Each structure stands twice: as C-alpha cells, then as structure tokens.
Amino acid sequence: MARIDDRYNAGETEAKWQRIWDERGCFAADDPKGRPKYYVLEMFPYPSGRIHMGHVRNYTLGDVVARYKRAKGFAVLHPMGWDAFGLPAENAAIERGIHPATWTRDNIAAMRGQLKSMGLSYDWRREFATCDPGYYRHEQKMFLDFLKAGLVYRKESWVNWDPVENTVLANEQVIDGCGWRSGAPVEKRLLSQWFLKITAYGEELLTGLAGLERWPERVRAMQENWIGRSEGLRLSWRLQGRTDRLEIFTTRPDTLFGAAFCAISPNHPLAAELAAGNGELAAFIAECNRMGTSEAVVEAAEKKGWDTGLSAIHPLDPDRTVPVYVANFVLMEYGTGAVFGCPAHDQRDLDFARKYRLPVVPVVLPPGGDPAGFAIGDVAYTETGTLFNSAFLDGMSVEDAKKAAIQRIEADGNGQRTVNYRLRDWGVSRQRYWGCPIPVIHCPDCGVVPVPDADLPVKLPEDVTFDRPGNPLDHHPHWSRTTCPTCGAEARRETDTFDTFFESSWYFARFCSPDREDVAVDRAQADAWLPVDQYVGGIEHAVLHLLYSRFFTRALADCGIVGIREPFDGLLTQGMVCHETYKSEGGGWLYPDEVTTGADGALETKTGRPAIVGRSEKMSKSKRNVVDPAHIIATYGADTARLFMLSDSPPERDLDWTEAGIDGAWRYVNRLWRMVAVPNLPLPPLGTPMPALGAEAEEVRRLIHRTIAAVGEDIERFHFNKAVARIRELTNALGELKGGADSAWVLREGLETAVLLAAPMMPHLAEEMWQALGHDTLVSETAWPEAQPALLVEDTVTVAVQVNGKLRATVSLPKDADAATAERIALAQPQVGAAMSGKPPRKVIVVPNRIVNVVV
C-alpha cells in the first residue's frame, strides 16, 4: 500500500495555496516606489464561457514571467480582465433568448473560476470587463477627444457588408471575400461611417517597428506589409476634349515613355460619370462590382477593360495620346484609383495590352541587351536596366530615370513625388447592439453633435429585443430619441457601436488605474507602469489588435492622456495548441476521449471499430480535437497542466497535446513531491551549517549553482523548455546522491533550490514542498536564489581532442591549462597517436578549456 504522503494530492493542495495567496494579497501590485517595475500582460480573453488550452498556454507563459520577475525583486503588474463586447453574446441572445449582458456576466464568472484554479498570480483587484459603463464611458470620451484633435471623421464609403451578421466588416475581417466569422460572401454597400485616422500615423507606425527589438521578426514584417509604404509619383494627364485631368499614381515614372494606356477603377468618379450616359459601361461596372471581393481567387484569371473612347495626353510628350480604359483590376481604394499601363515592364499591364492589342514598347534594356533586338514576349521585364526609347531618359539607370522623370513632371507642374500607403483609415462603426455606443447625436439642424462630457456615458439600454435581423438599437422604441445638446431640437442618437477592437486598443493602460471614475487613465500611475514590458498572446493578432493598439497609444499621447507612444516593449507570440484528429468509419469527427489507442491502433471506444487518425491540427470545436482544461486540471492539477505547457516545445512553436505528454508531466510532479516526502537521504534540519563536503557532494553542489544560473537565463530568454530540462537534470542528480551528512546537506540545498527554480512553473507544488522542507515562509514571497560565482568555475575541464577535425579522445585538464600542456597531453593519447598514423603534426590548434585540434 502506498504511503499516505508519497502521493501528491493536487486538488486539495492547489486550493489551499490559492486561498493563502489570496488572503495574503501576494500578487497585489502597488506603487513601484523606487523598485524597478515590470508590467507583464497576457491578451485578455473574450468571455466565451470556458477556457481552452490556448488560454492555458498563454496564461501559463505570462505567469512564469510574472512570478520570476517578482522573485527577482521587481514590482510586478500582472492584471486580467475581459474583452466583453462582441457578437457571440448577441448570437446567444438570438439563439437562446439570453440577454447578452447576462450571458456575458455568467461566462465571466465561470471563466474567472477556471482561471483561478490555474493558480495565476494576477492582481485580481484590477479586474474589469469592457462592457461595464465604467470602462466604456472613457472610450466614448476618447472618441470625442480624437474628434477634437481631428483624428476622427465621418464619410460615405463603400463598406464590406456581411449579409449573415447584418453588419459592416473591417477590411481585415474579410478573408478571401468572405466574412471572417460567418464565412458568407461579403457584399459592397455605401454607408455613412465613422473613421479613425490611423493613416495620419502610417509613417510613424512603420518607422516605429524598427525600435521594437523584442518583437518577433515576422510580426514586424506583417505590419510593415500591412502598412505597405511605397514611394512614387502622383501625376495628372490631360484628357483630350475635357477640362478635367486624370490623376494617377505610379512607382515606375521611369517607364512613362512605354505607356500604352491609362486605366481607371470601375468605382472611379469618371467611370460613374461616363456610365450615366452609357448602359453598356454601367453594366460592365456592375459586373466588376459583383466580381469584386467575393471571388478573389477566381478573378485572378482575367483582366477585363472597357474602352471609354477618351484619350489621355502624355505628360512628357504632348504629341502622344493613349486610350483610357475602365479596368476591373484597378482598385479605387489604392492610390488615386487610376493607373497608367506600361506593358513591357509590368506583367498585369502586358496581359491587358495583349488582350486589347495595345502596343508594347520596351523602355528598359536589360544589362548587356541589344536595343535593336530586344522585344517583349509573354513575360514583362521587371528587372533593372538602362533606359532607351525614352527621349531625355535614354541611357540612365532605372533609379536615375525615376528621379529625372519626377523632376521633370514636378517642374512642369503636372504632379509631384509622393508616398502612398496600403494602410487605410480604420472604419469603426458597427451596426450592432453589444458594443460601445458611439457618443454622437444627429440633429436635423446642427448636423452631427458630440454628446457633452457631462452626459457620458451613453449607456446601452438593457431592454432590447432580438427577434428581428439588424441592430436592436434601431428597433428600440425610444432609446435613440433625444434632444440636440446645441439647439434643443428633437434629435436622434447614433445607433452604431464601436468595432470591438476599440476596447482592446487601450485596456492595457486602464489596468494602471482601473478604479478611476473621472479619468480613463491616472497619469501618474500610467507613467509609473507603462509601457507593458512583456506582452504575451497569439500570432493571430499580429496585425489588427497590435497595430490598432500602437495607433491608439499615439493618439492618446497626442491628446495628453498617456506619456508613451509604443504600448508593448516586448512581445511573445505563442504557438497554437494542437491535437491529433480522429474520424469514425462513418466520417464524423470524434473527440479524443471517444478513441482508445492500443496495440491494434486507434479504435472508437463505443463501437470497437477502427478510428481514422488524422494529422495534428489546431484544437478546434469543429474538428472535435479538443481537450478540456477543466477536466485536465481536475484530474492532474494545474501544476501538471502548466508544466506540460512549458516543457516540451519552445513557446513560439506549436505544441502537440498528447496523453503521454501530460502523463509525463504528472509523473514528474509526483516525483518531485516524493523527493521531499520520502527523501533518499535523511535531510538535516533547516539552517544546518554546511559541513565539509566530499567530492561527490561538492560536484552536485556545483551543479546546483550552475542550474541556478542557467535557469535564470533560460527564463529571461523564454526558453522555458530548457529551464524545465535543467531542473530535471538537477533533480536527477539529487536523486542519485548517496553518502553521509555532507551529501544530505547538499540534498537539502538542492531540493530547496529546485523548489525555488520550479516555483514560477509549478507554484502550488513549490509551496507545498517548501513547507514540507520546514519553511514557514511562502515561496511566492521568497527571492530568486543566487548562484555563487565560485561554484560556477570548474577547476578541471574536459577538453575534446580532434585529429583533422575528427574527435579522437577527450582529456581532463586543469582549467586554463596553457596551450603547451594541453598539446602535450593531447598528443600523448593513444587514440590520437593511432589516428595520426605516424605522421608529424603540421599544426596544433588549442582553444583553452575547449578543444585541441591536431592537423597532420
């Protein structure tokens, strides 16, 4: 029968320490007061109802950092809250008749309980939900501040309309022409929308990326790509027989003499004007819009154009004209919605020219090319070269020709050098109920009037119904009816709400002073804590949330609300949690716990029939390859789950959840516990002075201190898997300790060290072991151990001996032995002599304490 104390009772133990931490307020973040501060933040969750493994991974990573930094003496701010506005709450209301507020509150309560069971070191006093009026009132104020600062405007614009969700989507929420959530093909609609001028910060958001040294390269690359800066020329072409001009943007002004046509977007005002008197063109435009967003893949196939009959006069040669087309490949949203086409040096233009039999005149000659013989076939020449067929540009390089062409166009007053961005302003209006009301009033006489500060917050009404499609705020009998704050006339409230990315764009700042009712951010607190030193979250937010937050922070800074311009100093993007997928013979997905894996392969437990094992993919409800964290924590405890999240894969890589992996973690938790419950040597009492150490004890003691140094470094660099490996190495060595009082003393030192090093990862177990070792303090309040430098230095080192680069022997040498000694001992090795087969050494390379390489 097992001894009563050699099996670790995770459930009871974890609850006990969670209660004690809570009572002692161990994780309350108070004013740093001179101590170095450290703000670690994990992306707060949407309260969907239950935590999933992605949360467990995310929050474990953050918690390790928080606990480690706390032990290192930092004043740590580690808060948690709820990103509580969003569509699922409304869907629940529609599908199950539960009010979004109720649904959200219940979910938060359930998830808070689950997070608490993980033993995360949050300062729960700072918790908030973004659907609280106490939170969103401040973002209404921010919006009005931005309005005053000229960072907000309203315009009619083409929007992406999701016909299933009855709402507008941001460009980023449209994936392959379909709504990111509904998957329905997106339609184009013209609506009046509020926009935030994120483009005003385009340049700064781009250049700022260079300073984000502790961000993953790929996230910076994705943002750079998204901002899409390109330098070029904006120039206008006169149109024959018209007084207006056609404004185009190009990055290749050097190829102007190769121009064969101009093309405008189907949504260009000129196209609309021409279509008014031309049914055929109108039909063509309608066709383009239908294709538009929905068939991004299919439409890559064909370039189509419609000849307007207009001629544009070449800006560098008034004797030349080119035809003007309406073309389906020209985007109104980019540049000026019009381009000139140079078929010889742009593949798309070439395809178009071939189709409509337009001339293809090469103007850039490849290096070493023959000007007389160079012709373009089916492939445009897009590389660099020397200009020809180009009047005053002839003989120049592409780079020089660009400059010269721009100079000439500018001198002629036909255009100017310009920088264009792919980034577009952020449309924030959503025709949805469960979001933050946009605080403006529409007055028939005064137009759009901001809600006065004194009337904030504009609260969401609770009494709404979800029995019709569309926005419940529109259907509310009287909520939108109000009076104009300026003239007192009857007026109407804006019924749109903010994009929910609004809330997550500043929550990190709110955590600094969550209780301040009068202001969004207590400036002194914000100055003390911001920026976030380490942000941890999923790669899926690489562009949207992170770019909006960077923009918002700058806008808030320019409104004097915060004193920083970059919100997140360091960013760790964790990989996904994956699991094998299973299908029954019938083809339906199976949950992992419906499958038994044995000698005969995978079987469906219920029927005994073979189950088809698919590849490991991101855990998702639709594929049923999910493991419920609550179940895991109830079975093995939070520490085991946390350990598994950390031990196998580096954080930024995908992690495969396996039964064997969680079992392995569970075994180690028990093994650690047994090491103090039933130690392999009788431990001396706490505080026993160090006896004289024998060789074995001394060697293990060195390992203890090497481990301290290594684990600290590993955690600093987020190499948690390596930190776990080193702690295991240490405990392996401790478990093998034999001998007398000296070994027992070292065993105690080793166990105490292992406890402290493992505490950020397995905090409950660490407390329990610490107590079992006789301490009446908390690990959570104990400083990180310090490695004694003297013990990090070895007096003998193992040096590899190579002959011609191949390992032939290893020799033990005194540390820092001189080269001559090393060489002498190395050459004396029999294996070395054999490998040299009698030849004299031509050269001997000695790298002290590392290697001796004999070249023969």
| Residue among 790, 798, 796 at smallest CA distance from 701 | 790
Task: Pick from 78, 126, 252, 705 the residue near RNA by CB under 7 A.
Answer: 252
# chain residues binding RNA, by CB under 7 A: 84
Nearer to RNA, 827 or 851 (CB): 851
Q: Are 425 and 435 in contact (CB under 8 A)?
A: no
Stretch that binds RNA, among 36-44, 75-83, 359-367, 805-813 (CB under 7 A): 805-813
Q: Are 509 and 556 in contact (CB under 8 A)?
A: yes
Residues 613-652 that bind RNA (CB under 7 A): 647-650
Q: How far apart are CA 222 and CA 202, in angstroms?
A: 14
Task: Pick from 447, 804, 816, 828 the residue near RNA by CB under 7 A.
Answer: 804
Instruction: Tell me: does residue 4 bind RNA (CB under 7 A).
Output: no
Task: Pick from 61, 339, 438, 458 the residue near RNA by CB under 7 A.
Answer: 339
Q: What is the closest distance, in whole angstroms, from the C-beta atom of residue 276 to RNA in the complex?
A: 22
Helix axes 100-117, 10-24, angle to 10 degrees: 110
Q: How far apart are CA 113 and CA 376, in angstroms?
A: 68
Structure tokens at 70: 């706390």
Three-state DSSP state, 235: strand
Q: What is the closest distance, in whole angstroms, from the C-beta atom of residue 545 to RNA in the complex?
A: 13
Determine how many CB atoms are found less than 10 A away from the CB of residue 703.
21
Q: What is the closest distance, in whole angstroms, from the C-beta atom of residue 559 to RNA in the complex?
A: 30
Residues 720-749 that bind RNA (CB under 7 A): 721-722, 724-725, 728-729, 732, 735-736
Instruction: Tell me: does residue 354 bind RNA (CB under 7 A).
Output: no
Determine how many CB atoms are found less than 10 A away from the CB of residue 723.
27
Stretch that binds RNA, among 269-277, 337-345, 681-689, 693-701 (CB under 7 A): 337-345
Q: Are 86 and 436 in contact (CB under 8 A)?
A: no
**Cβ neighbours of residue 394 under 8 Å, at least 6 residues apart?**
387, 388
Nearer to RNA, 303 or 554 (CB): 303
Task: Pick from 538, 664, 691, 841 the residue near RNA by CB under 7 A.
Answer: 664
Residues 153-182 that bind RNA (CB under 7 A): 171-172, 175
Instruction: Tell me: does residue 188 bind RNA (CB under 7 A).
Output: no
Nearer to RNA, 175 or 519 (CB): 175
Three-state DSSP state, 127: coil
Nearer to RNA, 621 or 842 (CB): 842
| Residue among 665, 655, 674, 680 at smallest CA distance from 762 | 665
Q: What is the closest distance, in whole angstroms, from the C-beta atom of residue 48 to RNA in the complex?
A: 21
Q: Are 148 and 523 in contact (CB under 8 A)?
A: no
Q: What is the closest distance, in whole angstroms, from the C-beta atom of residue 233 to RNA in the complex?
A: 8
Distances (CA, A) of 233 to 320, 331, 422, 712: 20, 17, 15, 53
Stretch that binds RNA, among 31-39, 274-282, 384-392, 715-723 (CB under 7 A): 715-723
Q: What is the closest distance, in whole angstroms, from the C-beta atom of residue 686 to RNA in the complex?
A: 25
Q: What is the closest distance, in whole angstroms, from the C-beta atom of residue 845 to RNA in the complex?
A: 4
Instruction: Tell me: does residue 251 bind RNA (CB under 7 A).
Output: yes
Residues 415-434 that bind RNA (CB under 7 A): 420, 422
| Residue among 48, 51, 52, 128 at smallest CA distance from 87 | 48
Q: What is the closest distance, in whole angstroms, from the C-beta atom of residue 824 to RNA in the complex?
A: 18
Stretch that binds RNA, among 51-59, 353-361, 620-628, 803-811 (CB under 7 A): 803-811
Residues 571-610 that bind RNA (CB under 7 A): none
Instruction: Tell me: does residue 696 bind RNA (CB under 7 A).
Output: no
Instruction: Tell me: does residue 810 bind RNA (CB under 7 A).
Output: yes
Task: Pick from 265, 386, 513, 771 the residue near RNA by CB under 7 A.
Answer: 265
What are the DSSP calls for 742-769, one per residue? HHHHHHHHHHHHHHHHHTTTSHHHHHHH
Instruction: Tell me: does residue 658 bind RNA (CB under 7 A).
Output: yes
Stretch that binds RNA, among 35-43, 354-362, 484-492, 717-725 (CB under 7 A): 717-725
Total number of residues shown for the chain: 856
Nearer to RNA, 240 or 382 (CB): 382
Task: Pick from 8, 59, 195, 226 the residue near RNA by CB under 7 A.
Answer: 226
Q: What is the closest distance, in whole angstroms, from the C-beta atom of residue 355 to RNA in the complex?
A: 12
Q: What is the closest distance, in whole angstroms, from the C-beta atom of residue 299 to RNA in the complex?
A: 4
Kind plus residue range of the DSSP H or E element containing 808? strand 806-814
Show the 3-state SS of 812-828.
EEECCCCHHHHHHHHHC
| Residue among 846, 845, 852 at smallest CA distance from 829 | 852
Q: How far apart are CA 230 and CA 418, in angstroms?
A: 9
Task: Pick from 110, 184, 543, 564 the residue near RNA by CB under 7 A.
Answer: 543
Stretch 290-329: interaction string toward RNA, x if CB under 7 A: -x----x--xx--x------------------------xx
Beta strands, E only, 480-576: 481-483, 490-493, 497-498, 534-538, 571-574
CA dihedral 54, 60, 65, 70 (to 10 degrees): 140
CA dihedral 378, 384, 388, 394 (to 10 degrees): 160
Stretch that binds RNA, among 32-40, 460-468, 622-630, 661-669 (CB under 7 A): 661-669
Nearer to RNA, 685 or 830 (CB): 830
Kind plus residue range of the DSSP H or E element containing 227? helix 217-227
Q: What is the closest distance, in whole angstroms, from the C-beta atom of residue 50 to RNA in the complex?
A: 25
Q: Are 337 and 330 in contact (CB under 8 A)?
A: yes
Q: How far apart are CA 248 and CA 233, in angstroms?
A: 8
CA dihedral 57, 59, 60, 62 (to 10 degrees): 120
Nearer to RNA, 400 or 729 (CB): 729
| Residue among 322, 316, 379, 320 at smallest CA distance from 346 | 379
Residues 228-247 that bind RNA (CB under 7 A): 228, 230, 232
Q: How far apart are CA 188 and CA 782, in angstroms?
A: 60
Residues 818-837 that bind RNA (CB under 7 A): 831, 834
Structure tokens at 382: 């897009």
Task: Pick from 124, 158, 334, 591 the residue near RNA by CB under 7 A.
Answer: 334
Stretch that binds RNA, among 49-57, 155-163, 658-666, 688-696 (CB under 7 A): 658-666
Q: What is the closest distance, in whole angstroms, from the C-beta atom of residue 460 to RNA in the complex?
A: 31
Residues 116-145 that bind RNA (CB under 7 A): none
Q: Are 349 and 341 in contact (CB under 8 A)?
A: yes
Nearer to RNA, 138 or 726 (CB): 726
Q: What is the closest distance, in whole angstroms, from the C-beta atom of residue 513 to RNA in the complex?
A: 35
Nearer to RNA, 222 or 559 (CB): 222
Q: How far apart are CA 342 and CA 349, in angstroms?
A: 6
Instruction: Tell me: does residue 807 bind RNA (CB under 7 A).
Output: yes
Instruction: Tell me: does residue 199 bind RNA (CB under 7 A).
Output: no
